[in-house]
Amino acid sequence: MLLLVGIVTLAASLRPAVTALGAVLTMVSADLGIPGWLAGVLTTLPVLSFAAVGSLTHLFTSRFGLHRSALLALAAICAGSGTRALADSPALFTAGTTVALAGMAVGNVSLPPLVKLHFPDRIPTVTAIYSSALLAGAALPAGLTVPVSEAAGSWRWGLGLWAAAAGLAALPWIGLLRHDVRESVQAAQLTPRDLVRSRLAWTMAVFFGAQSAQAYAQFGWLPTIYTDAGLTAQSAALMLLVVTVVGVPAPLVLPAYARQTADHRPLVLVFAVVTFAGWGGLMLWPTTLPWMWAALLGLGGCAFPWVLAMLALRTRTAEGTAALSGFVQSTGYLMSAIGPLGTGLLYEASGDWKLPLAVLMSLTVPMLWSGLRFARPRVLEDELAGSAT
């Protein structure tokens, strides 16, 4: 039971540092004098950090153990989030954000092998539980950071709240240290070179990258897009809350679906269609039923917990899950940098949100193409064994 609590609290801590900043980025920029180009970097920093640190996490967890890695991840999130809440300069704020994101990257990659190792017979169910916690951890900061900041008179309280939350989330992992586990030496059988030649790994990375590019563009820019369209700052922040809240219950339905069929292609089609419709409505009619476009984007975002579950369902061992998780997340997050960074650059170049939104719509095409290919039953270890013969 303590392990499940630890997994849930870890998952809930892996998004607040991102969505909380998106909600108060305008306030922070004005107070600290953050230039526009650095604000764009801050919206892109999550995916770059997840790519860079995520690529090393497999080695980190193998050396120090999955439980110690989870505790260190939460300590970094707490320290980094606290630092930026106290920062008095753009440089210190960026440094604190970087530390927090590094901790989040370690947590991202550690969760799938933790589930595979400790709950091998309940992967869809446990993945659904922690995915809901992860989405809730994105939703609460989106909705609470602005009201807390306004009530306290400073954005620092709004961001500092989530540093305290990460500290509390670390408590179960302190108790789990005595039962720490490391990945088996069998993990060495799967090298980065093996993953590079796997079609399954690449199609999952493309899907993960296309979906994450859209998600982090939402986290970084959605309130600004709605504000520029005419909504108040509080209403715009509420739209980001809608995006995240809508997806929270959806992962709980995925285990039942996974048990009924091994072919998930219809689900991939739904993800792509609702995401496309959400971006299209936001581009053409942003203030007409704004909550509907946010809700559609939120439903499309359920592709994220689904692909996390597929990391375990498309491998036979915890070692295979850890290797695939590291490759897909690091490669996918590197690809996804085009989302938040490209959105900001295209807006600066065009002076309008229509062009960047059209590009984000187009990302549903590679998402659909790649998702359809690994949605059919396939196993990483079998694919690699077949290609070696």
Please give the Cα distance from 3 to 66 (Å, whole number). Answer: 12
Give pLDDT tens digits for 117-149.
888 877 777 887 888 888 888 878 877 888 899
**Res. 181 pLDDT band, cuts 50 70 90:** low
Question: Nearest-CA neighbor of 294 among 267, 273, 268, 275?
Answer: 275
Domain layout of the chain by residue ranges = 2-388
Domain 2-388: CATH superfamily is MFS general substrate transporter like domains (1.20.1250.20)
Q: For residue 77, count other CB atoms closer than 10 A to its CB.
A: 30
Give pLDDT tens digits for 5-30.
999 999 999 989 888 887 788 789 88
Reply yes or no on whether the pLDDT at 180 is more than 60.
Answer: yes
Give pLDDT tens digits for 199-226.
989 999 999 999 999 998 988 789 889 9
DSSP conformational letter for 378 = -
pLDDT for residue 185: 40
Reply yes or no on whether the pLDDT at 83 is more than 90.
Answer: yes
Question: 351 CB contacts (<8 Å, ≥6 apart)?
Answer: none
Give pLDDT tens digits for 34-67.
887 787 788 778 888 888 887 777 777 777 888 8
Write down the residue that tokens 């579950």 correspond to: 309
Give pLDDT tens digits for 300-343.
988 887 888 788 788 887 778 878 888 888 899 889 888 888 88
Question: 266 CB contacts (<8 Å, ≥6 apart)?
Answer: none
Q: At what angle do helices 303-313 and 123-152 cross, to 10 degrees?
A: 150
Tokens (6 digits) for 262: 């091994």
Q: At what angle do helices 2-12 and 90-118 cross, to 10 degrees?
A: 150
